[in-house]
Amino acid sequence: MFLSELNIGEKKNFLELAYYSMGLNGEHKDVESLVFDSFVHECELPGYTLQKQDKIESIVKVLSKSSTKHKKILLIELYGILLADGEVCMSEADFMQNLAKAFGFDSAEVERLQNWVEEMNSLVEKGYELLN
């Protein structure tokens, strides 16, 4: 939704984080893979090859220097993929809390961002119901 706001380096690092976060619950679910594919498209990086899955801490360190607006975009979009299956498991929640801390956000801000994503998902679902 907001990924076009990021610069090319942030987009690539976001895709690395998004893919990594998908596996935190022990599997890459089909619905998450569909969201990831949409992220690749939105980032205008067709055919992007993941290169830094073993350097997540380094990616977080680099992204922590991004603007506040861009860090919020990163968190919102990551919640988009984590909530694709309807829930955020404990390991995903821990990851997001640690990421938010590295980005300089408190838990209240993270909760606010997650709630917004949940509300948006609900609105989209209701929209599809209206179409049927």
Tell me the average pLDDT of the chain: 93
Instruction: Using the CB atoms, write b or e for 26-37: b if 16+ within 10 Å.
Output: eeeeeebeebbe
What pTM was estimated for this model as a whole? Answer: 0.90
pLDDT exceeding 70 applies to what percent of the chain? 100
Domains and CATH numbers, the chain: 3-131 (1.10.3680.10)
Enter the DSSP assignment of 53: T
Q: Is the pLDDT of residue 6 over 90?
A: yes
Which range scores top for mean pLDDT: 11-20, 49-58, 123-132?
Answer: 11-20
Q: How many CB atoms lie within 10 A of CB 68?
A: 10
Q: Is the pLDDT of residue 88 over 90?
A: no
| Rounded Cα–Cα distance for residues 69 and 74 (Å) | 9
pLDDT given for residue 105 in this prediction: 96
